[in-house]
């Protein structure tokens, strides 16, 4: 009929592709994401003790900007991003509890912002579930409030992929381009090499001429974040190639290593699995780890069938490249290494998980919801159990370092002072001393230098059971110090100060 338009039946109506710039971003749209982020922050404060103490790597990062202790040796693979992140607190306070609260709040904010970038690409309910899945992993809860870089690479990668997809779909979306650059810079500031692995698929997708804009933005962000690391390579490590080579050596020599089983062993709550020996964790603890890649493949199959492949395939590809070096190129494992992969997998898996709940077959929906809730409840119970055991074990080891530091103070080894030997780096931070090593990856001193220092300030050697006392310290007085024996030299002026 003239002057009228034909409206096809609802079942045949063609949907317009939704602009991924995400117009629905008002308070109601982001409320579920904010709720997930707040719950994540509160869970960290309740389950990860603010007074847990700092771990080995944390003491290195924090000491660079600490008012409490001298800077520890900064090895080649490390980057300054974490030190900059914690500086607003550690530059004036030595309170570990305050630092934990600060990082818990910051990590919750980071998760919220990363999820928010995906608005318009997936429904809000999918993003809220994705955030909950990632936030309830024991490894996420454990490392969120810690002064470590891996969580920040994870949220940076999650947001970077969303910004890339939005910029790819809408060339006028300038916020997406700025977000892509900022996320790339954040990742590179935290761990430059990990940042490159995480965005390899984005770099490849940006190669076609009509997409070069996103490629240049991504490269600019990576360059900005890694600029300090590269400059430091030439200033302190003998050049970029030498720093990369030294970093590879510290990690055991990058090459073909089948570390999948090592990562599996670490799933039981081992913060560092090096050397990675011992029994595998209980299958109940690891079942989610085997299920995750299966769900990822199913999510991709569903996305291909629904003809919306990019939003699912791109984060899956980035998750694969982010995990690859830690599964196949290094000879040890730590669960935090895979945090970026877990974050990137969360959105596609959440989309798959939400489909039975929102599917059209209403007769099956109650059963699907029931099974899904039971499965998630069991998964959460396992994650919390592993987290509790990990926190208890970690707290005990950190308290042992604190007791050794107290024993050193009782012997007159007080700042300014120097420690060397077994676990000298973390104990030195707890004691407020400098640390030194004459061999190994943290070598920064010579035997002659340590002996000279002992004539000026208190020096102690931490000797583990079954190891030899250095020749220069054999005649020094000694005392037990927890799991080590302390050989110490306190000059007369230092002894007077100690009294």
Rounded Cα–Cα distance for residues 234 and 369 (Å)? 57
Cα-Cα-Cα-Cα dihedral sign, residues 57, 247, 326, 329: negative
Overall average pLDDT of the 8-20 stretch:
40
> Across the chain, how many H-helices and E-strands are there?
19, 5
Report pLDDT for 339: 98
> In 10 A of CB 49, how many CB atoms?
17
What is the reported pLDDT for 50? 82
pLDDT, average across residues 345-371: 78
User: Is it the case that residue 1 has pLDDT exceeding 80?
Assistant: no
List the domain boundaries for the chain: 20-358, 396-498
Q: What is the pLDDT of residue 359?
A: 57
DSSP output for 17-32: PPPTT-S--SHHHHHH
pLDDT level of residue 483 (50, 70, 90 thresholds):
confident
Helix (H) or strand (E) holding 486: strand 484-489
- Mean pLDDT across 270-288: 86
Q: What dihedral do alpha carbons 267, 270, 276, 280 form, nearest 10°?
A: -40
The Cα 459–Cα 435 span in angstroms is 10
Phi then psi for 395, rounded to 5 degrees? -60, -40
ω before 233 within 30° of 0 (cis)? Answer: no
Q: What is the pLDDT of residue 366?
A: 75
pLDDT band at 357 (very low <50, low <70, confident <90, very high): low
Query: Residue 361: what pLDDT?
Result: 58
The secondary structure of 413-473 as a DSSP string is: --SS-EEEETTHHHHHHHHT-EEE-SSSTT----HHHHHHHHTTS-EEEEEETTSPPPGGG
Distance (Å, whole) CA 66 – CA 100: 15
Mean pLDDT, rounded, for 91-111: 96
More confident position, 464 or 496: 464
pLDDT(23) > 70: no
Q: What is the dihedral of CA 259, 343, 394, 89, to 10 degrees?
A: 130
pLDDT number for residue 144: 97
**pTM assigned to the model:** 0.91
The gap from C-alpha 453 to its chain's centroid, in whole angstroms, comes to 37
Residue 8 predicted with pLDDT over 50? no
- R_g of the chain, CA atoms, integer Å: 26
**Strand bridging mode 418-421 / 459-464:** parallel
What is the structure's pLDDT at 253?
78
177-202 pLDDT, tens per residue? 999 999 999 999 999 999 999 999 99
Q: How many residues does the chain have?
A: 499
User: Which of 16-30, 271-285, 474-488 is modeled with the greatest confidence?
Assistant: 474-488
Q: Is the pLDDT of residue 49 over 90?
A: no
Range 4-26 average pLDDT:
42
- The pLDDT assigned to 360 comes to 57
Write 461-469 long-range contacts (CB < 8 A, 24+).
Answer: 461/419, 461/420, 461/421, 461/486, 461/487, 461/488, 462/404, 462/419, 462/420, 462/421, 462/422, 462/423, 462/424, 462/427, 462/486, 463/421, 463/422, 463/487, 464/421, 464/422, 467/422
415 vs 433: CA distance, rounded Å: 6
Q: What is the mean pLDDT of residues 398-426?
A: 96
Q: Give the model confidence (pLDDT) of 204-258 as tens digits.
A: 999 887 778 999 999 999 999 999 999 999 999 999 999 999 998 888 778 888 8
For 295-359, the DSSP string reads: HHHHHHHHHHHTT--HHHHHHHHHHHHHHHHHHHT-S-B-GGGGHHHHHHHHHHHHHHHHHHHH-
Distance CA 325, CA 195 (A): 12
Residues 421-434 have a mean pLDDT of: 96
pLDDT band of residue 68 (cuts 50, 70, 90) is: confident
Structure tokens at 460: 């102690």
φ, ψ (nearest 5 deg) of residue 434: -80, 165
Q: Does residue 11 carry a pLDDT above 60?
A: no
In sequence order, the β-bridge partners of residue 462 are: 421, 486
Alpha-carbon distance of 218 to 214, in angstroms, equals: 6
Reply yes or no on whether the pLDDT at 21 is more than 70.
no
In whole angstroms, give the CA distance from residue 28 to residue 31: 5
- CB-based contacts of 325, cutoff 8 Å, min separation 6: 193, 197, 254
Q: pLDDT per residue over 115-126, tens digit each? A: 999 999 999 999
pLDDT reported for residue 257: 87
User: Could you tell me if 270 and 335 are in contact, meaning their C-beta atoms sit under 8 angstroms apart?
Assistant: yes
């Amino acid at each position: 009929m003239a002057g009228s338009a034909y409206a096809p039946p609802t079942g045949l109506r063609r949907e317009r592709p939704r602009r991924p710039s995400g117009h629905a971003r008002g308070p109601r749209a982001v409320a579920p994401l904010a709720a997930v982020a707040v719950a994540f922050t509160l869970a960290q404060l309740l389950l990860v003790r603010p007074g847990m103490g700092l771990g080995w790597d944390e003491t290195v990062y924090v000491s660079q900007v600490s008012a409490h202790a001298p800077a520890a040796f900064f090895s080649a693979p490390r980057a300054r991003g974490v030190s900059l992140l914690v500086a607003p607190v550690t530059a004036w306070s030595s309170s570990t509890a305050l630092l934990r609260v600060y990082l818990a709040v910051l990590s919750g904010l980071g998760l919220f912002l990363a999820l928010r970038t995906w608005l318009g690409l997936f429904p809000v309910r999918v993003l809220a579930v994705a955030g909950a899945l990632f936030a309830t992993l024991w490894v996420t809860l454990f490392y969120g409030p810690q002064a470590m870089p891996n969580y920040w690479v994870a949220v940076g990668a999650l947001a970077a992929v969303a910004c890339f997809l939005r910029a790819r779909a809408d060339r006028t979306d300038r916020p997406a381009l700025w977000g892509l650059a900022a996320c790339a810079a954040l990742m590179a500031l935290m761990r430059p090499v990990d940042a490159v692995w995480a965005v390899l698929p984005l770099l490849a997708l940006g190669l076609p001429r009509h997409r070069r804009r996103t490629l240049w933005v991504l490269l600019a962000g990576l360059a900005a974040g890694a600029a300090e690391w590269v400059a430091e390579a030439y200033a302190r490590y003998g050049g970029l190639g030498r720093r990369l080579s030294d970093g590879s050596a510290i990690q055991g020599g990058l090459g073909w290593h089948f570390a999948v089983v090592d990562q599996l062993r670490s799933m039981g709550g081992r913060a560092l699995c090096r050397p990675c020996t011992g029994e595998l964790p209980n299958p109940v603890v690891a079942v989610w780890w085997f299920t995750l890649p299966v769900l990822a493949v199913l999510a991709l199959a569903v996305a291909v069938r629904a003809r919306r492949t990019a939003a699912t395939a791109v984060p899956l590809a980035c998750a694969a490249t982010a995990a690859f070096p830690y599964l196949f190129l290094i000879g040890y494992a730590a669960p935090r290494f895979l945090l970026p992969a877990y974050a990137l997998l969360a959105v596609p898996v959440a989309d798959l998980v939400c489909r039975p709940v929102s599917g059209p077959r209403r007769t099956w929906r109650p059963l699907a919801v029931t099974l899904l809730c039971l499965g998630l409840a069991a998964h959460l119970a396992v994650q919390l159990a592993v987290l509790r055991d990990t926190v208890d074990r970690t707290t005990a080891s950190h308290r042992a370092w604190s007791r050794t530091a107290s024993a050193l103070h009782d012997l007159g080894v007080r700042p300014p002072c120097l420690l060397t030997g077994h676990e000298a780096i973390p104990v030195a931070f707890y004691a407020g001393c400098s640390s030194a090593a004459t061999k190994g990856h943290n070598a920064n001193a010579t035997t002659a230098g340590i002996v000279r220092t002992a004539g000026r300030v208190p020096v102690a050697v931490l000797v583990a059971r079954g190891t030899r006392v250095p020749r220069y310290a054999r005649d020094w007085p000694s005392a037990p110090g927890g799991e080590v024996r302390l050989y110490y030299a306190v000059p007369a002026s230092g002894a007077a100060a100690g009294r």
